[in-house]
Structure 1
Amino acid sequence: MTIKHALDPSCPHVTPSLDHIGGYYCNRGCDRYCHSHGDTVVSDSSSDSSSDSLESRKSTESRLWNEFGSYTSKGRLYYRYRWGHGHSIDGVRHIPGGTISRPVVQQRGEQIRQAMTQGKSHTEILGMIDGWR
């Protein structure tokens, strides 16, 4: 299954973001479909519970999305990849290797960001993560 993103990943100003549905953010607007044209912003501050807020996802009832970013657990930062549709989270893969301060985890995080920016399919990204286990 391929996840359809709310943004066009070919825009040079588009970056992966855990804070935006679809996993992308266009920091310039660029007259493309970006957060100012309908993306719902989800706060992903220090606590995991705020990033899992279902209220902020209700406006995208049937749209598929994926996201990648850091989260805090027991005072440490880790990376995770999540996906779902509408306001529900269908799955989570934690990036193996420990905290984001470890070079191997930083490298893996960059590989996932690049894969998302290049428009790799959801299955390909899961395959990358599962290959690191």
Structure 2
Amino acid sequence: MRQFKYIIMLAFIGIGIGSFFSLLSITLNQAIFSLTQFALLMTMSAIMGILSIIFDYDKFSFMTQLVLHFVLEMLTYLIFIALTFGKTSIALTNIPTFVIIYLAIFLYMRQQGHDNARRINEQLANKKHS
């Protein structure tokens, strides 16, 4: 049950991030999405969030996890954008934007991980000295 809750949490994180960038894209491009397009984009975002579970498997090195995650995210992006807009050219022309967004999210999450590890280590050090 805990694993199921974790997967649901990852899906909602993905939807949150996807919603933000979709809304930003809609605003900047003054686009209008149909309900079907919106549903596909949110499904893509949920799947992309769930793909983060790759980082929980310790059998792979971090670099393998990162490359695998990036490739799966890119494939998900290409498939769903092609389904959403009916053109693969839209997905292909937006690859640089995808890479920039991926890097921004990666760097943020990496920094969060370092901050969490630092806080945990400080708490452990305080308990050890107490």
TM bucket normalised to smaller: under 0.3
Greater share of residues in helix: 2
- The structure with the largest alpha-carbon Rg is 2
- TM-score, reference length from structure 2: 0.27
Greater share of residues in strand: 1
- TM-score, reference length from structure 1: 0.27
